Amino acid sequence: MATKKTNQRQLRKLVDLWATRMGLTSWRIDVNFKTLPKNTLAHTIWADGYQTGEICIDDDKVSQLDNRSQEAIVIHELFHLCLAHLDDTLSDYCGQGSVYKAADKQCEILCDATAQMLQRAYRRKRG
């Protein structure tokens, strides 16, 4: 049980660290651990216009991954919040949901690609 709590603390720290790096400091982001559907490691929920989000993580599945994979999952979910923030920001100009409608089915690929890009860039910068 101590290992599970330790892993949850590490995942919360990753969320805080990457939320800061990605400029989501004005958001209140909760991290919850629960059992999710079969092929889901994590998912994100947010309230339009309120800058609050929740990242739900299935820690039984995620704990079986290496640290780099865990980090990629966290960045992926945070990028969903970045898109939600952009959607809120542009809602007066383009209408609520316009960013997600534009991204449509490519959204998951976009989040994965961005997570990989950010991880690589940060590792290169650190040296």
Q: What is the per-residue pLDDT for 103?
A: 73
| Across 15-35, average pLDDT | 90
107 CB neighbour count, 10 Å cutoff: 16
Q: Global pTM?
A: 0.83
CATH code for the domain in which residue 104 is found? 3.30.2010
Contacts of 58 (CB under 8 A, 6+ apart): 33, 34, 35, 36, 40, 41, 42
Per-residue pLDDT reduced to its tens digit, 89-110: 787 788 777 777 777 668 888 8
Tally of structural domains, the chain: 1
Residue 53 CA to residue 32 CA, distance in Å, equals 11
Per-residue pLDDT reduced to its tens digit, 48-100: 777 889 999 998 888 888 777 888 999 999 998 888 888 877 877 887 777 77
